Chain A
Amino acid sequence: MNPAVLIASVYVFALAAFLGYQVISRVPPLLHTPLMSATNAISGISLIGSLVMAGAHYPLVAHLLGFAAVTTATINVVGGFWITDRMLKMFKKREPNPAKAVKP
């Protein structure tokens, strides 16, 4: 990595850290579980690194390690987003009238 790219990367990291702090601080405790699940799914973006290892012009060992990494990262992306959505779907405001059946 040449120094210019490195410095740019460090900038990106520092700015992402500040932005992350600002954005995440605003998430209410109500949504902390979906938040953890969501950030987990998002960091499954390491999938793109795994894809290169599994498919680019590399020796077999890289392909095998890449395959395992693609699998685990995809589990996180698919499972993570799926479960996050399932959770978020459940958070509802008070319904006007739940129209509950009267029990005997």
Chain B
Amino acid sequence: MSPATLLMEATYLIASILFILGLKAMSHPDSARRGMFYAEAGMAAAIIGTLIGQHIVTWVWIVAGLLLGSAIGAWMGITVPMTAMPQRTALSHAFGAMAAALVGIAEFNVHASEMSVFTRGALGFEVMLGALTTTGSLIAAGKLQGIIKGTPVQFKGQQVLNALIGLGMVGCFVTFWINPAILAAFYTMVGLALAFGVMMVIPIGSADMPVVMSLLNSYAGLAATATGFVLGNNVLIIAGTLDGFSGLILSILMCKAMNRSITNVLFGGFGAAVAEASSNAGGTMREIPLEDAAIQLAYAKRVIFVPGYGLATAQAQHAVRELAELLEERGVTVKYAIHPVAGRMPGHMNVLLAEANVPYSALYEMDQINPEFPETDVVVVIGANDVVNPDARDNPKSLIAGMPILEVDLAKSVIVLKRGQGRGFSGLENPLFFKERTRMLYGDAKGTLNLLVKAVEQS
């Protein structure tokens, strides 16, 4: 082994260790940032090691790619707003998967004839997973950005069509595995995988995005793992597997938080026409004058804010923090209750509130905060719906029956900030809105919160 190769292998080992240490530091917000510096150092070491240790003969494409990628990456790093984090993350799943697929296709072009059966299998897996994750993530990003409409796209025979595409894809994979000389099988597999990715995500509604995002994260990671197997490169296997498992764990957590199985999320088409299954939560929604709401808040002892996706769309995170600070100055105890699937990706609400300078010690997870609702004077629900729907607990026939919820209906009073009288995204009726203790405040969340701040200041 030449010294250059040895050096390269050493940087890979160092990178692997630094990646693991970096993720380990993520267990606490105080150490997380330092951990990422480890990971960045590991990445830099591995890149430099590769450039020294591999026999690079042409630099023009490498330099061009690095410069272009860095420019786009830095531009995204600077400009992407926190509210767009779900789209950004979906897009990065697409980029990661695309890199794996492209390397796989190049590898196929160069080495297919001399590959062992196993390597060829890994290559097929890499390209297939990479391709379907690329298009799947692009569709997810499009839905999150609002370029593609967020409602599930369903049509007759969809399942059959998907099954055919899936079978065709796997069939081509097996053909290529047995006989690498059949080029058409390989490229048909790529095409079918691209189509499969689209078909996989279009029937899924926006409210289920946290699960889809986690799954795509997992796929992108596993595609990188497969790349590692093809290239016989351990640092790729380790990094890809960490990514893959992280996504898998998050998918499981998200599914648990909705009391649904992954199959149900992928094939359920939740959020289509489901209105008839909701409980007949009769009665009227009672509106509350803004001044009354302000007085209720100003003279409360304990207040809990419950943010949902509506907070993100209204960009109301700064307004809610302002209101919370004002209340705290008056001696009110203010907390935030975060449901695991609130928003469009895992941890979405936490990031938004952190951006608005809400200290993380004020953010509470569902299990921590649920026992506190009965002693809470006012709960303010901001653009959240399903995660506070008591039907999930009380009505076994409800589509979301069994989903763990934030039990805000147990609080002494509830104020719901809502854009209009319509049903939420899922189309389910929410009995919370009709309860005796619930009052509605209609309008744009940001505007309403700003008015509340003014009203509290005057009371």
Q: Do A and B come from one complex?
A: yes
Q: Is the interface of A mostly helix, strand, loop or mixed?
A: helix
Flag B213-233 by CB within 8 Å of A: 1 or 0 each. Answer: 110010011001101110111
Which residues in B have their C-beta under 8 angstroms from that of A58? 106, 110
CB distance from B31 to the nearest CB of A (A): 10
- In contact, A54 and B99 (Cβ under 8 angstroms): no
Decide: A37 near B89, CB < 8 A? Known: A20-B242, A78-B73, A88-B36: yes
Which residues in B have their C-beta under 8 angstroms from that of A27? 23, 26-27
- In contact, B61 and A54 (Cβ under 8 angstroms): yes
The listed residue (B85, B240, B247, B354) touching A46 by CB distance below 8 A is B240
A78 closest partner in B (C-beta): B73
Which residues in A have their C-beta under 8 angstroms from that of B355? 90
A79 CA to B96 CA in the complex, in Å? 12
B1-42 contacts to A, CB under 8 A, are: 15, 19-20, 22-24, 26-30, 32-33, 36, 39-40
- In contact, B232 and A69 (Cβ under 8 angstroms): no
A52-104 contacts to B, CB under 8 A, are: 52-59, 61-95, 98, 100, 103
Tell me if B93 counts as interface (CB < 8 A to partner A).
Answer: yes
Tell me if B311 counts as interface (CB < 8 A to partner A).
Answer: no
CB distance from B38 to the nearest CB of A (A): 11
Which residues in A have their C-beta under 8 angstroms from that of B249? 21, 24-25
- In contact, A92 and B360 (Cβ under 8 angstroms): yes
A34 CA to B364 CA in the complex, in Å? 17
Flag B187-203 by CB within 8 Å of A: 1 or 0 each. Answer: 00000000000000000
Decide: A47 near B325, CB < 8 A? Known: A5-B232, A20-B245: no
A9 CA to B225 CA in the complex, in Å? 10
Tell me if B46 counts as interface (CB < 8 A to partner A).
Answer: yes
Which residues in B have their C-beta under 8 angstroms from that of A49? 103, 227, 231, 233, 236
Which residues in B have their C-beta under 8 angstroms from that of A51? 47, 50-51, 54, 56, 62
B15 closest partner in A (C-beta): A45
The listed residue (B30, B93, B225, B232) touching A13 by CB distance below 8 A is B225
- In contact, B73 and A9 (Cβ under 8 angstroms): no
- In contact, A57 and B39 (Cβ under 8 angstroms): no
A33 closest partner in B (C-beta): B347
Tell me if B449 counts as interface (CB < 8 A to partner A).
Answer: no
- In contact, A84 and B27 (Cβ under 8 angstroms): no
B286-341 contacts to A, CB under 8 A, are: 325, 329, 338, 340
- In contact, A36 and B213 (Cβ under 8 angstroms): yes
- In contact, A88 and B29 (Cβ under 8 angstroms): yes
Tell me if B375 counts as interface (CB < 8 A to partner A).
Answer: no
- In contact, A40 and B92 (Cβ under 8 angstroms): yes
CB distance from B125 to the nearest CB of A (A): 13
- In contact, B243 and A39 (Cβ under 8 angstroms): yes
B77-136 contacts to A, CB under 8 A, are: 77-78, 80, 82, 85, 88-89, 92-93, 95-96, 98-100, 102-103, 105-107, 109-110, 116, 118-119
Listed from nearest, the 5 A-B pairs whose CB atoms lie closest are A74-B69, A82-B77, A70-B65, A78-B73, A32-B347
Known: A72-B99, A77-B43, A80-B92. 4 other contacts (CB 8 A): A20-B242, A39-B247, A45-B239, A66-B61
What are some 14 contacts across the A-B interface (CB < 8 A)?
A13-B241, A28-B29, A31-B32, A32-B345, A42-B19, A43-B240, A46-B99, A64-B61, A70-B61, A74-B70, A75-B92, A77-B73, A87-B82, A88-B29
Partner-B contacts on A (CB < 8 A): 1-2, 5-6, 9, 12-13, 16-17, 19-21, 23-59, 61-95, 98, 100, 103
